[in-house]
Amino acid sequence: MQSKSASVIILSGGTSKRFGSDKSRALLAGQSLISWILASIPPDFEIVIVGADPMIKTTHYICTQEAPPGGGPVAGFKAGLELCTSNLVILIATDMPFVMAVTPLLLNSLEADDESVMYVDAQEFAQPFAAVYRMSALQRAFRILGEPQGKSMRELLAHLKVHEIAIDAQSSKSLIDIDTAVDLERAIAFLIPMKDN
């Protein structure tokens, strides 16, 4: 990853209803999803986990929780942001274990007047949990948004100037979102050719 410094917020406090258990602790090649993410983050990046402490001693991070718990991803984002000290913030979800592999392009693509840079997949769906944000723009957007509990990411993004980047088919595999046991099997299959290379 290139030299720009950033804070990374990992949203890990979801209900995991579709998955059936805490997704962050689901195992992928013997490691939990949260372990995969933490291991992929450069050591000089600040890490804030919004959710329960995964008790992983090999990585330095701090934990927080939205208040009240269960307020949704926007409330979690705001809670994590309050502990960040960098001018750039990377937001990722705990169910996207490979996403840090494709964040360097986002950081390098951030232009002077951009307030956020995020990927858009082949279905033209924006990926706010694979995105880089400017701290000052986020602080302004949250002031405009008001109470974040129960708000959608779309409502928050409406107050930001977003630079969208189309992602190619190969790189899009790094955006695998594990919502179900079937998704976890897809992620395991994605790992097989990676190990062979």
Burial grade of 61 (CB within 10 A; 0-12, 13-18, 19 or more): middle
Please, where are the H alpha helices in 4-71?
Answer: 33-40
CA atoms of 169 and 188, how far apart (whole Å): 18
pTM of the model: 0.83
Q: DSSP code of 62?
A: E
Tokens representing 106 are 């986002």
Spatial CB neighbours of 18, under 8 Å, sequence gap ≥ 6: 179, 180
Spatial CB neighbours of 20, under 8 Å, sequence gap ≥ 6: 181
pLDDT digits (tens, 9 = 90+) for 142-158: 999 999 999 999 999 99
Q: What angle, rounded to 10 degrees, do the helices at 135-145 and 73-81 form?
A: 130
Lowest mean pLDDT among 4-8, 77-81, 128-132, 153-157: 4-8
H or E, element range at 73: helix 73-81
Q: What's the length of the chain?
A: 197
pLDDT digits (tens, 9 = 90+) for 62-120: 999 998 888 999 999 999 999 999 999 999 998 888 888 888 889 999 999 999 999 98
Q: What b-and-e string marks burial along 28-42, b requiring 16 or more CB atoms within 10 Å of the CB?
A: beeebbbbbbbebbe
* pLDDT > 60? residue 187: no
Mean pLDDT of 125-136: 93
